[in-house]
Amino acid sequence: MAENITSKSAREKLAARKEPYWSRLEAGLYLGYRRAEQGQGTWIARRRDEAGKQKYHALGTFAEFDDAARAANRWAQAVDAGVSTHGMTITQVCAHYVTDLRTRKGSKSANDAKGRFRRLVDSASIGKLDVAKLKTSHVRAWIAAQVEMDEADAEDEDDLRRAKDSANRNLASLKAALNLALRDRLVATDAGWKTVGKFASVGRRREDFLNAEHRKALLAACPSDLANLVKAMLLTGARPGELARVRALDFDKTLGTVALDGKTGRRVVTLSTAAATFFADLSSSRIGNAPLLATEYGQQWNKDSWKKLFKQAVQDAELPPTTVMYTLRHVAITELINAGMDSFLVAKLAGTSTAMIDKHYGRAKHDETRAKLDAVAIL
């Protein structure tokens, strides 16, 4: 005799066993409940296909019979629509997308996506999830973890903006893989990711710029130790964290170079005469591993020690409140581009790529090129 599993009280009276207790939902479709020795029981759906073969699908835990029945019906409808009944993990879905991308767009795009998924999906908890069980909360947590990871190394607000911009690109790749799975009927619905949106206003080119008068006002408003760090950024275009880590022995007075260690690895950059003279003055009272650009207490700078001081200096100098330490790097690179320096050389000095230079400073390059073209009398 069939046991009643429609009410919670009835289910609690059932004997624990491996074989589920079944309830017929419609012709060929059954909902089963597996009573556990301890804890909550689990639900399973059973369906007979056109060939007469029984198919099973684990539904998980539900407090109410009606909720489990709806899940069983959704599964049956997905099967009827041609959705694969073989579960795929998010990692497998991403691999499926990489294969498709290689066919449609070539190895470069496929390898970029493959590397992105390897770093952020394959070894993460989201990668092990069955795509049919993916929830919006899973995707949101995955995105938040990326920003939190980069936030630990962020040096200012611009770093956080760029971290969110990077997370947006990663989300776009994941959603592209999931959407392909939907089109290929590997999953029945896009409800788990469709409503997850990207961070707004984080991919824009930086517009902040400080002219010569602004820079002088800022330096005058800074305490002497912070002024040295600000001046070093303007003279080199380096990242604030890179300059904070410079030791006395990293400066070569003879060659006029300084070794910087940052997010793109260690590099040795040539200094202008003004920068070399400035660094030489600083090194006269520093030796060995001592920080070349130190706080008034002789300690190495970090974002916590400069953030409030810099914000106060910006306010005292009456500069835009959006001015942050990274603005100084933007100013320096812009001036180098405006002076006609080659993008490759600027990228090498700044520790970035020519693609990033073109993306963020392309307008300055075109204006400088246009001025040279206009100087040539052709007609």
DSSP state of 2: P
Residue 156 reports pLDDT greater than 60: no
Per DSSP, the residues of 102-165 read HHHH-HHHHHHHHHHHIIIIITSGGGGSBGGG--HHHHHHHHHHHHHHHHTT--SHHHHHHHHH
Give the integer Cα–Cα distance in Å for 353 and 326.
17
φ/ψ (deg, to 5) at 353:
-105, 160
So what's the pLDDT on residue 178? 95
Mutual angle of helices 343-350 and 325-338, in 10-degree steps: 150
For the ranges 101-110, 239-248, 294-303, the lowest mean pLDDT is seen at 101-110
The overall average pLDDT reported for the chain is 87
85, 72, 89, 192: which is closest to 131 by C-alpha?
89
- Please state at what angle helix 273-283 crosses helix 224-236, rounded to 10 degrees: 150
pLDDT digits (tens, 9 = 90+) for 16-46: 988 999 999 998 899 999 988 887 889 999 9
Q: Which residues, 6+ apart, have CB-to-CB distance to 244 below 8 Å?
A: 229, 291, 293, 300, 301, 302
Other Cβ atoms within 10 Å of 334 Cβ, number: 20
Residues in a beta bridge with 208: none
Residue 87 has pLDDT above 80, yes or no: no
- Report how far residue 85's alpha carbon sits from residue 201's, in angstroms, rounded to the nearest whole number: 40
**In the prediction, which pLDDT does 83 show?**
59
CATH 3.40.50.720 fits domain 8-80:
no
Q: pLDDT tier at 367 (50, 70, 90 boundaries)?
A: low
Residue 207 has pLDDT above 60, yes or no: no
Helix orientation angle between 90-105 and 107-117, rounded to the nearest 10 degrees? 160
The model's pLDDT over 170-194, given as tens digits with 9 standing for 90+, comes to 999 999 999 998 887 778 789 899 9
Within its chain, how far is the Cα of 262 from the centroid? 18
Q: Is the pLDDT of residue 149 over 80?
A: no
Q: Domain 212-374 belongs to what architecture? A: Orthogonal Bundle (1.10)
Q: Which pLDDT value is given to residue 86?
A: 64
Give pLDDT, residue 73. 86
Question: Strand 29-34 vs strand 42-48: parallel, antiparallel, or unpaired?
Answer: antiparallel
CA distance 82 to 88: 15
Q: What is the pLDDT of residue 82?
A: 64
Helix 325-338 / helix 303-316 crossing angle, nearest 10 deg: 70
Model pLDDT, residue 236: 96
Give the model's pLDDT for residue 85.
58
All structural domains of the chain with their residue ranges: 8-80, 90-183, 212-374
pLDDT of 90-105, one tens digit each?
Answer: 999 998 899 888 888 8
- CA count, 13 A, side-chain hemisphere, 296: 9
Span of 122-136, 202-216, 242-256, 288-302 with lowest mean pLDDT: 202-216
Q: Enter the pTM of the model.
A: 0.52
- Portion of the chain with pLDDT greater than 70, in percent: 91
